[in-house]
Structure 1
Amino acid sequence: MADRKGRRGSGGDSAALHSVIDIPQHRIHSRESQMALRQKSDSDVFMELVRDISSDLDVTVLSHKILTNVAVLANADRCSLFLVQGSGKMKCLVAKLFDVVEGSTVEETQNQKEIRIPWGMGIVGYVAESGTGIIIADAYKDQRFNHDVDIATGYRTKSMMSEPIISTEGEVIGVAQAINKIVTEKSKSDVFTPEDQKLFKTYLTFCGISLTNAQLFEKSMFYLRKNESLLEMARGIFEEQTCLKTSVHEILVEGLELIPCEQCSVMLLDENEEEVNFSRIFQLTHEQKEKGEQSAEQDSPDEVVGPYIAKAEMVARTGEAINVSEFDNVSQHSLVLEKDQVPKYENFLCIPIYNKEKKVIGVMQFFNKMGSHYFDEKDQHVFESFAVFCGLGIHNVMMYDKVCSSMARRNIALEVLSYHASSSLEEAVKHSERFLPSADEFVENVSRFPFDDLVLSDDDTILASARMFVDLHLLEHFHVQRVVLFRWISTVKKNYRQVTYHNWRHAFNVAQSMFAIFKEGQYDQSLSPLEQFVLLIACFCHDLDHRGTNNTFQVKSSSPIAQLYSTSTMEHHHFDHCIMILNSEGNNVLEGMNADQYGKAIKMLEACILATDLALYFQKRGTFRDLIESETFDWNDANHRGLLRGMLMTACDLGAITKPWKVQKRTAELVASEFFEQGDLEKSRLNLQPIPMMDRQKKDELPNMQVGFIDAICLPLYEVFTDHTPSLKPLYDGVKRNRINWKNLSEGKQADDEEMEADVTSPRTTVSQQAGETKSVAGKMKASRRQKSRQRSVYCTLV
C-alpha cells in the first residue's frame, strides 16, 4: 500500500506499524480483495496476518502461510523456513519449504528436495545456534553464505534477513529467512532495515507459538497413529507362537511397515554363552518385502550387518540403543567400521530386544531410513516400543520351542530305552576273558585295506574292535580298564538297530577302515594318541541308533529328532547317543583322562561325528583340496588337523567303495535296499514320490547311480588323500576298479570278478615299497587332475 496517509490507527502500535508496513499492490493476499485490505489500518493488517496462522495445526500448511506472510511484512522477494530436528550430535535444521515465492502453493513447495543444514553451519546454522537475528546487505561478501544453493537454483541472492523462531519455552525451534528486499516508492533501498527486522521478529514471536502448538499436535497424532499400528502389529506377531522363523519374519515385515527403511535385521543371542555371540540372524530388505519374499536366516553377521557388528555387540552388552547418522561421520567411527572397510549405509538404528525378565535376548537393526538422512527421536521411541512386543513374542516362541524340544528329548529317550539296553558287567567280563588274537590272526587281517567283515561272527567283531585299541596302545596311554573297553564295545553294538545297512556291521567296517589307515597309511605316526582314540570312538558311534532313514526323511516326517536339530539332524542324534553311553555306568572309556584331555576329546568327538554329514563334506572338501594341491597343509595348524580328521571320517564312512568288488557289490545292494525301504515309507506314510535313488521302481539304474556317486564324491576324495599320503593309493585304486565294474554293468556288460580277486589277493607289499611305487603315480595324478574342470556335479541325492 503505497499511499497509507490518513488511514492510521488510533493507537501507538498502529503508528509504529504504519511506518514499516509497505505492501505493493501486487503483494495483497488473494484471500481478501485489495480494496478490503486497503481499508484496514496497519495494526489490523498485522493482526490479520497473525490470525491467519493462529488456528492451523498442520505444520506444512502453517509453514507455508508463515512464509507468505513474512514476504508481505518484510517485502521480500522470497522466503525460507528451517525447522529444528533431532538433538545432540544429530541436531540440524531442515527446510522442506524453501524459496517460497508469491503465488506458490503448498503442493508446489512440497515437491522441492529437502534441504538439511547441520547445526551451527552457514548463516542459518549461526542464527539458530546463537539465537540472534542478522541482516546481511551483500550475501556474497559474507563467508558463511553457501553459494552452491544459488548455483543449483539459478537464483542470485543479494540481501538477506534471518531471525530465530522461539518456542513458548524459550528454545530455538526454527529460523525464518527473507531474501532480496523489493524496492518500492516508499522504500527505495534493496537492503533490509532495522525496522524491517523489528517487525519481522515481532511477527515470528506469534509464529513460534503457532509452530509449537502445531508440532505438539503433530507429535501427538504421530504417536496415536503409531500406537494404533503397534497394537495391530502386536496382534499379528502373537498370532504365530509356534515357529521362531515365522515369528521373526512377521517382526521384520512389520518393522519395515512401521517406518520404511532399506533393510531390517533381527540378531538373537546364544543364551548358552556368557560372551556376546549371535546364534541366529535374520534379515529382510524393503525390496524383498515388497515382492512378498521370506526373510533369510544367515550363517554369519557379516552377511547381514558386516562392519556394523561392533555396534550390535555393544547394544547387546549395554542394553542401550545406538542411532548413527551421516552426521556422525560414519566412515570414521571406530566402533562401526574396521580398517579398510567401506560403509554400506548412511544411517542405522540399533535397539535391544528384551524378554519378560528384562534380559537382552537380541538386537534389531534398521538401515537407511527412506526419505530421510537419519532416524529421529520419534523413530527411535516408536521402534523401542515395537521392540517390547517383539521381545515378548520371541520369548514366547522360544519358550514354546524349549517345551517342544523337551518333549522331543523325552520321546527319544523313551524310544531308546525301549529299544536298547546297556551291556551287563558279566557280559563284558566274559568277552574280556576270551583270547584276543593279533590283527593278522583273524580270518581276515583287520589292519589291511581289503577287508571283508562277513567272515567274522558278531562275537569276533567285538574282539576285533578291542584289538584296534590294543594295537594302538590306547588302553595304557589313557588308563582304560580292559573290562570297561569290552563293556563299552558291547553296549555300542547293542545300540545299533537291526536296519538293513546302517547297523553295527557298518560301524565296525568304518572303524576297521580307520584302523587300516592308521596302520597301512602310517597315520598312527602323524596323529596324536588322543586323535587316534577319538577317531576310533567316532567311527564306532557315528551312526548310533540309526533308523534306516536319512535327514531329509526326519524333517519331512516331523520326527522328534528333527524338532531338536535343523541341520545335521541324525548326526547330532548319533553324538548325543554316544555321550549317553559314555555317561552310563561302566561304559566311560574316557574316565582315565584329565580334565583338559576330556574337554578336548568331547569337542573333537562331536566334530568327527558331525563330519559324516555329506552336506558338511561338500562345504569343506574344496578347502582341503586346495591345502593339499598347494602343498600348504601344516600339521602344526590346529584347523588343518581338524579338517583332516573330518575328511578321514568321510573316507572311512564311504570306505566300502574301496573294497574288493564282491564286498563293494554286496554293500551297494544293502545300501540300495535300505534306500528303497525309505522310499516305500515316503510313499505309504508321507504320500510323497521318492527321489530315483530311493524309488524301488528304478532299481535297475543302480549301476549308473553308483558311477555318478563315485565320480562326484569318492574319486575326488581318495585322489586328494593319495596326493597327501601316497601309501593310501590302494584306496584310490580300489575306487577306480569298482567304477570300471559299475560302468560295465550300466552298459550291460559283465563285471570282471576274477580280475578283481587277483588284484586284492596279490602279495602284500611293504609301506616303503608302496610309497616308492606310488610317488611318481601321485605326481602324474595331480598334473592330470589340474587339467580337469573344477566343477563337479554334486551327487546331492545322498545328502
Structure 2
Amino acid sequence: MATIAVQRLLGALRGLAGWWWGYAAAETVEIHTFQDALLQLSGVIDLDGLRRAVEEAIGTIIPNVHSTAVYLLDLDSRQLRCHGNPLPVLPDEGLIQEAVSQRQCVTRPRPPPEDPVCRVLQLSQCEEERSVICYPVLDREGSELLAILLISCSRPTQLHYDNLSLLGKHIATCYSRLKQVQMQQDGAMSHAPAHRQDSGTIDTQAILQLCADLYDQDAPALQLKVIRYLQKVTRAECCLLLLVADDTAEFFCQLIGEHVLEEEVRFPIDQSCLGHVVTSKKPVTLEDLDSKGKGELQSLVLHVQLGEIRSMLCIPVESKAAGNIVALACVFNKRDRLKFSSADESQIRTCFTYTSTVLTSTLAVQKERKLKLETQSMLQIAKNLFTHLDDVSVLLREIMQEARNLTHAERCSLFLVDKGRRELVAKVFDGVVADESELEKLRQELGPNHRRLSDVRVMNMNELRIPIDQGIAGHVATTGEILNIKDAYSHPLFYSGVDHSTGFRTRNILCFPIKNEGHEIVGVAELCNKINGPCFSTYDEELAQAFSIYCGISLVHSLLYKKVADAQHRSKLSNELMMYHMKVNEDETARLIVDKIPEITSIHPDVSVFSFTPRVIYDDQTIPCCLAMFEDMGMINRWRIHKETLVKFVLMVKKGYRDPPYHNWYHAFSVSHFCYLLYKNLRIDQLLTDVELFALFVACLCHDLDHRGTNNAFQVSSKSVLAALYSSEGSVLERHHFAQAMCILNTEGCNIFENLNKRDYEQALDLFQEIILATDLAHHLSAVKDLETMAKEGYDKSNPRCHTLLTCLLMTSCDLSDQTKGWGTTKKIAELIYQEFFRQGDLEKSMGYRPHEMMDREKAFIPDLQISFLENIAMPLYRILGDLLPGSECVYEAVKANRDTWMQIRETAKHKPITHGNSFDFFKMLDEDDDMSLVNNGEGGKVNH
C-alpha cells in the first residue's frame, strides 16, 4: 500500500509541475511583452517618439494587426493629431465620434465605407474577418482625452483589451512626464541659459537620456545606470540604493557604487541607523547619525575601497502610486571634500521623479521571476526527494545536498529525532566527523565540565547520537525555532571542540527544524558557512522554511514506507515460520498416499445415520474418514483431485487447528461429517450445483482454522492483532479463518481447487469465503427472516439468492450439529463450550473488563443459558431446515429432546446450589447425579474432544 501511495503522490507532483511549467511559460511571455512596452514608453522625449513607441507596442501585444493610427494630444494646439495620416486631425464623426463621446472602447466588425475610420486606416473595404477598435486614452483623473488608438485586426480577445488598458495607463504616465519636461524647459529658457556648470542646474537632456537608457530587464544593471548618473551629478565618490522589502521589513542592497554584490545584503529596517527615514520620509546627513550609525555605514561600504566616510546624504525615494518609501538613495564623500547641499538633494529627487516607476516595476518583475525560479527549484527538489522514499539513507543524503545547493552552504548536518531515547541521531554525515577515539581524547583534555561532549556517542561508526536538549541542534529540536547564527564562536550554544578535532572552521550556522503534517518535529538540519556571503540571510531562512516542508513530508513517508516494508518482511517471515511448523509428518503423508481410501462404512457401520456422533471416531481415523467422505461424495473424480494433494490438504487443515476445549480439529471434523450426512440423507446435491457443494464441504473443514478460544467481541475489546486487521470489515475471526485457509491452499501441493477451470475456480473461492463468513451467528440472525420466507414460498433452484441462503443455512446447521446428537454428546459438548467460555471470562477479568454473563463462571446458570440457546437459535434453525428439506425432521426432534432434558435438569439444579461460586461445578453435579434414567439415552462409546 505504501508503494501505491508513493506512486500516487509522485503522479500528483508531476501533474503540478507540468501545470506550473505551462503557467510560467505564458506568464513569462506576458511579463516580457509589457516590460518591453513600458521600456519603450519610458525613453521617449517627444510626441513623435511616443507615437512610434505606441504603434510598436500595439503590434507587439495584439497579433494579426492590419493597420493602426495613433492620434495624440498636441500640447500646444490641444488637438488630437496624427502626423503623416491622410486625416492628420482626428475626425469628429462616425465610429471615432462615438468612442470620443462615450469615453470608452468601441469595436465594430464592419464599419460602412463612408465612415472616416476606413479612410484613416486606409481600408478600401472592411473585410468580414477584420474588426476596427477605437480605444480612447484618458489622463489619470479621467477628465482629459490624451489619445485615440485606431486598430484594424482579426478576432480581438479579452486579453487584447486588457493589454490595451494597461498600455493606456502607461501612455497617461508618459504624457505627464512629457508635460513636466516641457514646463521645466520653458522655465529654464525664461530664467537662465539652458546649460550651466553649477551642480544645482538640472540637465534635462541628461535625465531624458537616462530614462531612454533604462531599458534593462535586469534590476542590478538598471540600478548601475542610475548610480552612475547620481555619482556624476552630485560629484560623489560612491552611491548605493537601499531597496525596501515590505513583506519582510528589510533593507536589501544589490550594488555598492559600481560593484555588483555576489549575494545581496539584507538587514532589518528597525535595526538600521537609517530605518527612521522610511517613516519620517526626511533626508539624513552624516551629521545626523551617532557613532554607532556611522560605524554601520562604514561596514556597509567595505566592499568598495572608499576609505573613511567624510560626508553622506540619504534621500528617501517615494512611490508615485502608493506613496510609500521604496528605496533610500545614499551618496558618500562629496569630491573636493565638500558637503552635500540642497542642490544635490534636488538632483537626486529629480532623478527619481522620472526613474522610480521604471525601477520599482523592474524590481517587481525581478521578484516575480525569482519567485518563479524558487517554485521551479522547489518542484525539482520535491521530485528529487520523492524519488528516494524507498531508502532513508539515500533520502537523507539527497536532503543534505539540496539544502547546501539551495542556501549556498559549505556543510550540512541532518539529525533525526529519537523520541524514545530523547536523542538526535545522525546516520549520514557531510564532511569530516570525529570518531569515538577522537571524542574520548577531547573529553580527557577538556575535563568533566564539558557535559555536551561527554554525551556525544558514535554508534558502530554508522550513527552519531547527541542528547535532544543540548547544543544548537538540540535547542532547535526542543523549541521548534530557526536559529540564524552570524558568528558561531560567539554563540553560547556552539561547541568549538569538534572544530579543533576535525580542523574544520565554522563561521556561521543556519539551523532549522523539520516537521511533519502535524507540526511535530521529526528532524533538524544544520547548515554551516555561507559560501557567497558573510552569513545566512533572512531570505535563506525563508527558503529553509519552505524546504523543510518537503523534507518533513518525504522523511515521514520514507520512514512509514520503511515500517511497511519491515512489516511485510516480518509478515512474510512469520508466514514462512508458520507454514514450516505446520509441516505435516512426511511418513504419515506417504502412508496415507499409499494406502487405499477405506470404504466409509468400514470406519463405522452407522456413519451415515443422523444420530451417529463422529466424536466416537479415534483421532488417527479422522483423516481416513475425511478422505472416505470426499470419495463417497464423488468429489475426487468430479474435480480431478490428486490423492497426494488431497492428503496434504487435509493434514495441513488438521495441523492448522489449535487445541482450545471446543473449537479444535474434532469440531471441524464433526461439522464436515454433518455436511456429509446432509448429502447422504437429504440429497442436497440436487439443490446445489457441484461447485457449491464442493465449496460447502471444504468450508466445513476450514471454517474455524486457528481459532484461539475467544469470540469476536473479545478480539475487538482487547484490540488484538486480528481486530486491527479485520475489525473495520466485521466478523473478525471468520475473516481470519478464511485467510488461514487461503494460506493452506496457496501452499505448494495443497490446492485442491487447482484443476478447476477459471470460471469454476473463481466461483469456488467466492463461495468458500461467503460460506465461512456465514458461520458468524450475527450473519445468520440477520438472514432468519429471508430464510423463513424461502421456507414458506419454497426453494427456487433458478434463483441465485435462494442458492446463497441455502448454502448459509446448511453451513450454520453443520456448525451447530453437536446439538442434534444424543444427550451424552450434548452434555459433553456443553462442558467443552463452557470450559472455553469461562477461560475467556477469566482472561477478561484479568484485563479489567466485565465479561458477559455466559462467560462468567461466578454468574452463569448453565441450564438457563442452554435452554435459551436451543430455543432461540438451534430449534428455529432446524425447524427451517425441516421445512425446506423433508427427511430432516428427526434432527429437529433431537434438538427438542435435548431442550426438554435441560429443562428437567434446571428444575433439579435449583435444589442443588453451586458451591464456591463456580458454575463449572454444575457438570460434576451432573456426573454424580443418581438419577441416571434422566440423562442416559443409551449412547455408547467414548466422546472425544
Give TM-score, length-normalised by structure 1: 0.43
Give TM-score, length-normalised by structure 2: 0.37
Structure having the higher Rg: 2
